[in-house]
Amino acid sequence: MRQTGPYNEKVMDHFRNPRNAGELENPSGIGTAGNPVCGDIMEISIRIEDEVIKDIRFRTFGCGAAIATSSMVTELVKNKTIDEALAVSNRAVAEALGGLPPVKMHCSVLAEEALRSAIDDFRRRQGKP
């Protein structure tokens, strides 16, 4: 695959044409995660119906890998049940992107955490633990 800087073409595709970027109005849950390593921030908003993630959006202040992993995670969990979404690990996101440079693996953690935090928020709003 053609490399642009440190990234493969799939990562660059998600960086260039991110899926589901932005913010949902009246989300069922919204979560953020901060990257303690480099100081970046990711925010995910979700709309849930019958335990299924019907819609999802992300906003990310971070590097190319952070934007690409945000985009990929939204694609992977859209129309999935909450339990299925919770099973998606940061490794799975990185693999779906065809791999990330080792120094950029920490960026994919941000996507996983933001998603979990959005689901936690949804649960909280429902009054469940």
Partner 1 sequence: MNMKPIYLDHAATTPTAPEVVQAMLPYLEGTYGNASSLHSFGREAKTAVETARGRIASFMNARPEEIVFTSGGTESDNFIIKGIALSRKDRGNHIITSSIEHHAVLETCGFLRKQGFSVSFLPVDSNGLVNPDDVKKAITNKTILITVMHGNNEIGTIEPVAEIGSIAREHGVAFHTDAVQTFGHVPIDVDELKVDCLSASAHKLHGPKGVGLAYIRTGTKITPLLHGGDQEKRRRASTLNVPGIVGFGRAVDLAGTEMHAESSRQSALRDRLMEGLLAEINDTRINGHPIRRLPNNANLSFAFVEGEGLLLSLDMEGIAVSTGSACTSSSLEPSHVLSAIGVPVELAHGSLRFTLGRDTTREDIERVLRVMPGIVHRLRAMSPLARKGAIS
CB under 8 A, 24+ apart: contacts of 83-88: 83/51, 85/53, 85/115, 85/119, 86/116, 86/119, 88/112, 88/115
Closest approach, Cβ 62 to partner 1, in A, equals: 5
Residues making contact with partner 1 (CB under 8 A): 4-5, 7, 12, 15-16, 18, 21-22, 32, 37-43, 58-64, 66-67, 103, 106-107
Which sequence positions are flagged as catalytic? 38, 107
Closest approach, Cβ 51 to partner 1, in A, equals: 26
CA dihedral 99, 109, 69, 36 (to 10 degrees): -120
Nearer to partner 1, 88 or 107 (CB): 107
**Interaction between residue 97 and ligand FES (CB under 6 A):** no
Cα–Cα nearest to 128, from 65, 51, 72? 51
Residues binding ligand FES: what is the number (CB under 6 A)?
9
**Interaction between residue 40 and ligand FES (CB under 6 A):** yes
Nearer to ligand FES, 12 or 107 (CB): 107
How crowded is residue 117: how many other Cβ atoms within 10 Å of its Cβ?
18
Q: Report the residue from 24, 57, 82, 104 that binds ligand FES according to the rule CB under 6 A.
A: 104
The rounded distance, in Å, linking the Cα atoms of 29 and 110 is: 17
Binding region for ligand FES (CB under 6 A) out of 8-16, 23-31, 59-67, 78-86: 59-67
